Amino acid sequence: MKIFKFGGASVKDAAGVKNVLQVLQTVGHEDVLLVISAMGKTTNALEIVIKNYFEKSKELYSSIQDIRKYHNQILLDLFEDEEHEVYFDVTAHFDDLEYFVRSNKSPNYSFVYDQIISIGELVSTTIVSHYLNESGITNQWLDVRNFIKTDNTYRDANVNWEQTQKLISKINRKKSLFVTQGFIGADENNFTTTLGREGSDYTAAIFAYCMGAESVTIWKDVPGVLNADPRYFENAVLLNQISYREAIELAFYGASVIHPKTLQPLQKKEIPLYVKSFVNPTLPGTSVSKGADLEPKTSCFIVKKNQILISLSSIDFSFIMEENISEIFGLFHKYKIKVSLIQNSAISFSVCVEDKFEKFNELKTVLSKKFKVSYNENVSLYTIRHFDAASAEVVEKDKNVLVKQISRETLQIVTQQ
């Protein structure tokens, strides 16, 4: 079994869906499970629906209608017969969405978020599955919520590996091709959960681990893993091979090509990961596998925008000791604030964080009761793996550096944007 993951950019329109077909025809589709994300910017559009829902906006149903129209145009471009079953299946998903926003009683934002946001993946996989069947590639559509079971930490759910393993093991492997959703799962009450933003890569890794897959391939609009994001750095180069360890390091520091949670389950079973281009599927791309000799021979640059630099100091000039730091990190965990850099002195403690769930203002109020809190919003965190003087100069040039931290292989710099 091979696991292929196609992201939203690969199925953003009818041409993209047709290209998925061409990729499968080119590289083969026997004994393959496809994990597919929501189409294009659908997740963003559904976040507008969620915003309208909570604000009781008059635009709620029109924002849903906009998403219906977007998908309907893709349907019209792919299926001439408007009586085709796919039209009814897609309509049913949107009807479920509208029923939910009419009938839901829960005020829990994260719960509501997961029930609404998941429609994107359900609709995209429905369309792709029908199109492949129509084009002669027989496949079975799977509702991933019947297989990946999680706790009820909505928006960032934790996988119940034992239960998930049992359910995935029951899949009839005699079928040659499966199509399922990325990003989503279900809790013990069968309410939809999500695995964190960009979690479709993680879904692919979960299936690979539980099925003992031969490999995982993530199909992207780039030729593979680059040593830098070409949007921010010139002359980015392809990394042909890297180790699991290096890929985990890059993912931890914020490299966007591979989701941070994806690599651990693959490493445990030494399942190779390939990052390849859906534009040129015959190119080798990047392979991620076991081996210390696969470290990059060039510096790797990562930038995370819109971070917050927080500096805490004791009100009475006493030392910030282990018990204080433990308490501070307990609060970061409680408010789901991701810490990307730490620096401390005798009476101060600084962290660069990502406020993914917009909890910083609440956290700041709590911290202010015990510490003097200073902060800079909208800072950028640059990380250079395997740095040298020349690569450091590239990042530091013409920037206001707020924090600089150097370890054996990694340089991190926080700058004011």
CA distance 138 to 29: 10
Q: In what order do the strands lie in the sheet with 32-36?
A: 140-141, 177-181, 32-36, 2-6, 215-220, 273-277, 286-289, 241-243
Say how far apart CA 372 and CA 25 lie, in whole Å.
61
Q: Is 338 helix (H, G, I), strand (E, B) or coil?
A: strand
Question: Do residues 340 and 202 share a domain?
Answer: no
Retrieve residue 149's tokens. Answer: 């079971």
Q: Are residues 186 and 59 in the same domain?
A: yes
Residues 93, 119 contacting (CB under 8 angstroms): yes
* CA neighbor of 38 nearest in space, from 133, 130, 148, 120: 120
Residues 180, 77 share a domain:
yes
pLDDT digits (tens, 9 = 90+) for 73-88: 999 999 999 999 999 9
Q: Is 408 marked as binding a ligand?
A: no
The segment with the largest mean pLDDT, out of 112-126, 237-251, 301-315, 336-350, is 112-126
| Last-in-domain residue among 164, 195, 213 | 213
CATH number at residue 323: 3.30.2130.10
Q: What is the pLDDT of residue 319?
A: 81
Domain containing 389 equals: 300-416
Q: For residue 261, what is the DSSP state?
A: G
The pLDDT value recorded for residue 293 is 65
Q: How does pLDDT run across 181-233, given as a tens digit for each residue? A: 999 999 999 999 999 867 899 999 999 999 999 999 999 998 999 999 888 88
**Per the domain annotation, does 257 fall within a domain?**
no
Regarding whether 327 and 208 lie in a shared domain, the answer is no
- Is 393 labeled as ligand-binding? no
401 residue type, one letter: V
In 10 A of CB 60, how many CB atoms? 20
Number of domains in the chain: 2
Last residue of one domain, picked from the residues 188, 213, 238 = 213
Q: 3-class DSSP state for residue 30?
A: coil
**Burial (CB count within 10 angstroms: exposed 0-12, middle 13-18, buried 19+), residue 9:** middle
Pairing of strands 286-289, 410-416: unpaired
- Residue 334, H or E segment: helix 322-334
**Residue 100 domain-assigned (yes or no):** yes
CATH number, residue 134: 3.40.1160.10
Give yes or no for residue 291 having a pLDDT over 80: no
Instruction: Say whether both 195 and 338 belong to one domain.
Output: no
Determine which of 118-127, 253-262, 319-328, 372-381 has the lowest per-residue pLDDT on average: 253-262
Whether the predicted pLDDT of 259 surpasses 80: no
Q: Quick one: which of 139, 202, 201, 131 has its CA closest to 171?
A: 139
Judge if 35 and 140 occupy the same domain. yes
Q: Does the residue 273 lie in any domain?
A: no
What's the whole-model pTM score? Answer: 0.87
Say if residue 6 is in the same domain as residue 152: yes
DSSP for residue 171: S
**Domain endpoint, select from 178, 213, 248:** 213
Residue range 342-357: mean pLDDT, rounded: 89
Please compute the mean of the pLDDT values over residues 43-57 and round it to a whole number. 97
Angle (nearest 5°) at CA 411 between 409 and 417: 155
Residues in the chain: 417
Please list, in sequence order, all residues whose beta carbon lies within 8 angstroms of the beta carbon of residue 391, skipping any fewer than 6 positions away: 299, 301, 384, 411
Q: Mean pLDDT lowest for which of 28-32, 102-106, 133-137, 175-179?
A: 175-179
Tell me if 396 is assigned to some domain: yes
Same domain, 162 and 41: yes
> How far out from the chain centre does Cα 210 lie?
20
| 4 HSE (CA, 13 A, CB side) | 23
Evaluate whether residue 374 is within a structural domain. yes
Do residues 22 and 149 both lie within one domain? yes
